């Protein structure tokens, strides 16, 4: 009488789009560049080279932490995380261990009906590694990505299905893009997800206490789209449930997602924190942030997408789905609010409809969008005399359909609306036509 209960926590890495790398002045824009063309003694880990933290990268990490509702302590430091892999030239990665930039945040997702909150455990800054390229039986290393600033966001194990993970990731992506600190493109590897997945068995009717965890967990890597994230988690849950039902315990390990087979495959057993021999980075002083500095960054945060959608619903009575779509891209939301201010609050839903239905090109210069929108409103304000004539003509020509309508057949009205719209050659709004027909027929 037990049922399986998925327990999922997330680690998300986001590469910042700063001009230079985390600890040196090499360009951080490595995409499509010739291998090893953007390197120096610091990011190659040569003996004697000293790291100097990128101030913008630290500030942007604070912005992300604050936007995710985290507390940003006034003290933060860097640590060395040791492991041996050819893409890590120093034999350690400069990361943050026990004093990360942000702690204890939360992010809400909403569909207008239900609001769910997920806790953020920590947000820290570290350096990215180089990249291994496997080619013709050889392994080559490109260090252009070595030391590019990377923000790690760790959630609590608050996820219990793959759908919520996907929606959370989409929300995180729009938050980060609204902050304008990263491209957060999963396909390009600017945003990478590593979920920790395990399954607990609960008695029927029993609720999870939030602190009992299975004796193992499986981390999945190589997920490079929202869709694959959902597929990888669903595959893993099914695999683990099968093992558990046969009385076996899944191995604690790291698995990779194969996008051709849609399956996860074992890569290596998972390290514990003590295997990394963390210790404070001796070459970089502890960072101390002043209260006013942190407050200044907080004041500069833009309004975030979901709270903005909720405000548009409250202030303008907009449908949540439309407010949600409009606020996914900051420039579109800014444009929308500018149009409402210009054309009037009474048109707010119609303006939203035109944007959502792509009647105007929101990426065009502002003046062009304004005149396109004005044209849409003008042409929909059909001449009332012409509309009246069209209604009368259509009703006269479709006597049987009119009788059907009068006998209570609602679809008949839809047919008549279509006929009038046709006669008006798209110069009338469907809602206006429906109203004119009802008035005439009733």
The contact set with Zn ion (CB under 5 A) reads 24, 26, 40, 42-43
- CA–centroid distance for 188 within its chain: 14
Nearest-approach distance from CB 112 to Zn ion, in angstroms: 47
Of the candidates 60, 56, 263, the residue with the CA atom closest to the CA atom of residue 153 = 60
Nearest-approach distance from CB 276 to Zn ion, in angstroms: 23
Nearest-approach distance from CB 30 to Zn ion, in angstroms: 11
Run of H or E including 82: strand 79-82
**CB-wise, 28 or 304, nearer to Zn ion?**
28
The residue whose two tokens read 């990249």 is 131
Nearest-approach distance from CB 37 to Zn ion, in angstroms: 11
**CB-wise, 31 or 208, nearer to Zn ion?**
31
**CB-wise, 26 or 101, nearer to Zn ion?**
26
Q: Which of left, alpha, beta for 358 (phi over 0: left; psi -120 to 50: alpha)? A: left
- The overall longest dimension of the chain from CA atoms, in Å, is 92
The residue whose two tokens read 């702690």 is 103
**CB-wise, 42 or 402, nearer to Zn ion?**
42
**CB-wise, 26 or 417, nearer to Zn ion?**
26
Q: How many CB atoms lie within 10 A of CB 120?
A: 24
**CB-wise, 118 or 143, nearer to Zn ion?**
143
Q: How many CB atoms lie within 10 A of CB 79?
A: 22
Nearest-approach distance from CB 246 to Zn ion, in angstroms: 51
Q: Is the dihedral of CA 393, 399, 403, 404 positive or negative?
A: negative
Nearest-approach distance from CB 20 to Zn ion, in angstroms: 8
**CB-wise, 57 or 229, nearer to Zn ion?**
57
Nearest-approach distance from CB 147 to Zn ion, in angstroms: 6
Angle at 439 between CA 434 and CA 440, to 5 degrees: 100
**CB-wise, 24 or 335, nearer to Zn ion?**
24
Q: What's the rounded Cα separation, in Å, for the pair 127 and 149? A: 5
| Residues paired with residue 120 on neighbouring β-strands, in sequence order | 105, 155
139 CB burial (10 A radius; 0-12, 13-18, 19+):
exposed
Nearest-approach distance from CB 149 to Zn ion, in angstroms: 12
Angle at 14 between CA 87 and CA 327, to 5 degrees: 160
Q: How many CB atoms lie within 10 A of CB 354?
A: 20
Q: What's the rounded Cα separation, in Å, for the pair 58 and 76? A: 10
């Amino acid at each position: 009488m037990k049922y399986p209960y998925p327990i999922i926590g997330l680690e998300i890495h986001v590469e910042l789009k700063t001009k230079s790398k985390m600890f040196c002045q090499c360009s951080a824009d490595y995409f499509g560049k010739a291998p090893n063309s953007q390197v120096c003694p610091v990011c190659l880990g040569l003996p004697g080279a000293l790291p100097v933290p990128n101030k913008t990268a630290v500030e942007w990490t604070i912005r992300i932490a604050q936007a995710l509702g985290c507390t940003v302590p006034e003290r933060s430091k860097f640590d060395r995380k040791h492991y041996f892999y050819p893409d890590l030239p120093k034999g350690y990665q400069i990361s943050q261990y026990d004093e990360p930039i942000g702690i204890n945040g939360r992010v809400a997702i909403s569909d207008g009906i239900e609001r769910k909150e997920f806790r953020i455990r920590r947000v820290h800054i570290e350096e990215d590694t180089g990249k291994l390229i496997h080619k013709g039986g050889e392994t080559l290393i490109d260090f252009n990505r070595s030391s590019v600033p990377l923000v790690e966001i760790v959630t609590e194990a608050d996820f219990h299905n793959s759908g919520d993970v996907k929606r959370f990731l989409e929300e995180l992506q729009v938050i980060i893009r609204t902050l304008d600190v990263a491209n957060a493109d999963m396909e390009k590897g600017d945003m990478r997800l590593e979920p920790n997945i395990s399954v607990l068995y609960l008695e029927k009717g029993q609720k999870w206490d939030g602190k009992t965890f299975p004796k193992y967990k499986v981390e999945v890597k190589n997920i490079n789209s929202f869709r694959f994230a959902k597929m990888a988690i669903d595959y893993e849950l099914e695999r683990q449930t099968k093992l558990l039902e046969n009385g076996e315990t899944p191995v604690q390990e790291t698995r990779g997602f194969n996008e051709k087979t849609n399956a996860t495959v074992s890569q290596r057993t998972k390290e514990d924190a003590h295997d990394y021999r963390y210790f404070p980075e001796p070459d970089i002083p502890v960072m101390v942030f002043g209260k006013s500095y942190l407050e200044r960054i907080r004041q500069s945060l833009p309004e975030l997408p979901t709270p903005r959608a909720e405000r548009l619903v409250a202030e303008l009575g907009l449908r949540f789905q439309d407010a949600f779509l409009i606020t996914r891209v900051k420039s579109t939301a800014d444009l929308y609010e500018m149009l409402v201010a210009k054309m009037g609050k009474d048109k707010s839903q119609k303006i939203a409809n035109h944007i959502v239905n792509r009647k105007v090109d929101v990426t065009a210069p502002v003046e062009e969008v304004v005149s396109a929108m004005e044209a849409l409103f003008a042409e929909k304000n059909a001449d009332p005399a012409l509309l009246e004539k069209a209604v009368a003509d259509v009703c006269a020509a479709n006597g049987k359909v009119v009788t059907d309508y009068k006998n209570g057949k609602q679809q008949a009205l839809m047919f008549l609306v279509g006929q009038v719209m046709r006669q008006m050659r798209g110069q009338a709004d469907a809602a206006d036509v429906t109203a004119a027909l009802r008035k005439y027929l009733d």
